[in-house]
Amino acid sequence: MTNDDWSKLVDTSDEWITTRTGIKERHFAAPGQAASDLVKIAAEKALEDAGIDKDEIDVIIVGTVNADNNYPSTGNWVQKKMGMKPVPSFDISAACSSFLYGLILGDSLIKSGAAKTVLVSSAEIMSQIIDWEDRNTCVLFGDGAGSAVLRESDGEEGILSSCWGADGNLGDLLVQPAGGSAMPPTEETLARKLHTVHMKGNEVFKHAVLRMQEASMKAMELANLSSEDIDLFIPHQANLRIIDATIRRAKIPLEKTYITVDKIANMSGATIPVSLDMARREGRIKEGTTVLTSAFGAGFTWGGLVIQF
């Protein structure tokens, strides 16, 4: 769906969306597709790419704010739909940071010996929770899913460092107010569109820049690397201006920064795995490439990792 497509539905323009966000187009799931359906597609491709059979997976982690149901978890539905063994399967709710939270958790499970092979995915169907009449938010998001297979490595490669954090005091700045136990669904909540994304965009912007910069710098410091040692930076893609401000503050060169926001918009937690996949397909990530990635999202939550491929 292009910016021009949106301009036929709400009072907006390609010019406004492009200059304020860098977004040109986004993709939406088909009616009837649930988050687990998108994970299944991504996870099957990831397993094939890794040359690993689904029976070798011993933990399934899904990051999502668009779970199929409150319960069972999307991870459980993925297990069923992919015909996988009865291994632990669960969801992470950390919004745009959920894939990085999943990588950090999966890495820890492997390092502790609790798991050998972990499937980490994120899927979002933001088109189901945006207010299609609110130009302030509807144009910003896209749908998608991405998956990664984690396994112990015997060489230099792997997750070299990670950091994560959260500040629940700022939860009201980006929230889907209704539908949970704090505000169960009623006719009134539906009429007032309280099941959609509510956001104080300017406030989110400021915190996103600060936390993405901090997480990026912390992850590099923990890996004992500087931005000169990083081959590619894959930030969460909410807005080109957030990315620009982050790289300026963290002193990461633009030519090392991978931009996908123009093509996929903000896919929340699915943004980073989809961007990683796009970078690999374009040849920007090869064996030996050192990737820095960082994210910020509702909660607020944030995280950063350095990954040696």
Catalytic residues: 96, 236, 266
Q: Are 91 and 33 in contact (CB under 8 A)?
A: no
309 is an interface residue for ligand ACO by CB under 6 A: no
Q: Which residue, 16 or 309, has its beta carbon nearer to ligand ACO?
A: 16
139 is an interface residue for ligand ACO by CB under 6 A: yes
Q: Which residue, 37 or 214, has its beta carbon nearer to ligand ACO?
A: 214
136 is an interface residue for ligand ACO by CB under 6 A: yes
59 is an interface residue for ligand ACO by CB under 6 A: no
**Hey, which residues between 190 and 219 contact ligand ACO (CB under 6 A)?**
199, 201-202, 204-205, 208
Using CA atoms, how far apart are residues 240 and 69, in angstroms rounded to an integer?
Answer: 32
**Count, residues near ligand ACO per rule CB under 6 A:** 23
Which one among 43, 59, 60, 96 touches ligand ACO, defined by CB under 6 A? 96
Q: Which stretch binds ligand ACO (CB under 6 A): 15-23, 113-121, 187-195, 217-225?
A: 15-23
Q: Residue 51 class from Cβ within 10 Å (0-12 exposed, 13-18 middle, 19+ buried)? A: exposed
Q: Least distance (Å) from ligand ACO to the CB of residue 268?
A: 7
21 is an interface residue for ligand ACO by CB under 6 A: yes
296 is an interface residue for ligand ACO by CB under 6 A: yes
Q: Which residue, 89 or 271, has its beta carbon nearer to ligand ACO?
A: 271
Q: Least distance (Å) from ligand ACO to the CB of residue 216?
A: 14
Print the binding letters for residues 165-184 with ligand ACO: x by CB under 6 A, - otherwise: ---------x----------
Q: Least distance (Å) from ligand ACO to the CB of residue 3?
A: 9
Q: 3-state secondary structure string, the chain?
A: CEHHHHHCCCCCCHHHHHHHHCCCECCCCCCCCCHHHHHHHHHHHHHHHHCCCHHHCCEEEEECCCCCCCCCCHHHHHHHHCCCCCCCEEEECCHHHHHHHHHHHHHHHHHHCCCCEEEEEEEEEHHHCCCCCCHHHHCCECEEEEEEEEECCCCCCEEEEEEEEECHHHHHHEECCCCCCCCCCCHHHHHCCCCCCEECHHHHHHHHHHHHHHHHHHHHHHCCCCCCCCCEEEECCCCHHHHHHHHHHHCCCHHHECCCHHHHCECHHHHHHHHHHHHHHCCCCCCCCEEEEEEEECCCEEEEEEEEC
Which one among 102, 142, 297, 304 touches ligand ACO, defined by CB under 6 A? 297
**Hey, which residues between 224 and 283 contact ligand ACO (CB under 6 A)?**
236, 238-239, 266
Kindly list the residues in this chain that would bind ligand ACO in the complex (CB under 6 A). 12, 16-17, 20-21, 96, 135-136, 139-140, 174, 199, 201-202, 204-205, 208, 236, 238-239, 266, 296-297
